[in-house]
Structure formats: structure tokens, C-alpha cells
């Protein structure tokens, strides 16, 4: 992948939104430390948007090889494929508003919708979520 990613990035393709898993849709850097099951469920083959609106697909992960590995136990680097496509702020807002309708907690849903509406940039939207 040649295009750089501006973190955080957000999973646009995961179909089910629930309040207790919403935080799992974010990736804050390329290091990955959790289980393979979690990676396969929430990240692998999913499409993510970065703070500039660029779209990326997670295509795998590889173990980071380091002489300091004893201090970085089982850290993987997430591998991305640039999709050479992007989404603008208004498209992203529309998609997130639709998906936020799945949130069953009315107060949380209202707060999420407010954040989406008030964001003036994709970066502000993703960082404020």
C-alpha cells in the first residue's frame, strides 16, 4: 500500500451497530494486539475510512519482527489495501446516520446523531465519535 493512512480510521462495512461494540470499529494505528477471532470478525476484509476520507480494506496482518520482541509480545502490523476511492463528508454523514439507527439506546443514539451533524470535517467526525 502506497497511500498513507491518517488515523483514526473507522470501519464502514461492519453491518451490525451496537453501543457496546461501536468502539471496536476504530483503529488508531497499524499495531494489532488482540485475538485472531476479533481481528477476523471486526477487521479482516472490512472497508475503513481515514480522516481524509480515503478508503482502505484490511487484507491481513503480519507479526512484527524485532530484537525487542520480548517487550512487544505478539504485536502484529495490520496490512491494508488502498481502494483508490474516497468518501466526502456529506456521504459519510449520511451513511453513519443510517447505521446509527441500529443503536437501541435513545440517549446514545441522540448524542451520536448530534456529533455527526455538528462535525465540519471527517477528521472532526472520527475523532469526536
pLDDT of residue 68: 60
Of the listed ranges 3-7, 93-97, 112-116, the least confidently predicted one is: 3-7
Tell me the mean pLDDT in the region 94-121.
Answer: 93
What is d(CA 6, CA 82) in angstroms, rounded to the nearest whole number?
Answer: 12
pLDDT tens sequence across 46-62: 999 999 999 999 999 99
Q: Is the Cβ–Cβ distance between 78 and 30 less than 8 Å?
A: yes
What is the SS3 string spanning 54-65? EEEEEEEEEECC
SS3 24: helix
Calculate the CA 70 to chain-centre distance: 28
Amino acid at each position: 500500500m502506497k497511500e498513507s493512512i491518517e488515523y483514526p480510521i473507522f470501519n464502514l462495512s461492519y453491518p451490525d451497530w451496537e453501543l457496546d461494540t461501536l468502539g471496536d470499529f476504530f483503529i488508531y494505528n497499524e499495531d494489532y494486539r488482540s485475538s485472531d477471532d476479533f481481528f477476523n470478525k471486526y477487521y479482516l476484509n472490512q472497508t475503513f475510512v481515514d480522516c481524509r476520507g480515503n478508503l482502505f480494506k484490511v487484507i491481513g496482518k503480519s507479526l512484527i519482527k524485532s530484537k525487542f520482541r520480548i517487550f512487544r509480545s505478539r504485536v502484529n502490523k495490520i496490512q491494508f489495501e488502498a481502494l483508490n476511492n474516497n468518501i466526502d463528508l456529506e456521504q459519510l454523514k449520511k451513511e453513519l446516520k443510517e447505521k446509527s439507527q441500529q443503536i437501541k439506546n435513545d440517549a446514545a443514539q441522540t448524542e451520536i446523531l448530534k456529533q455527526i451533524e455538528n462535525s465540519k470535517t471527517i477528521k472532526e467526525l472520527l475523532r469526536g465519535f
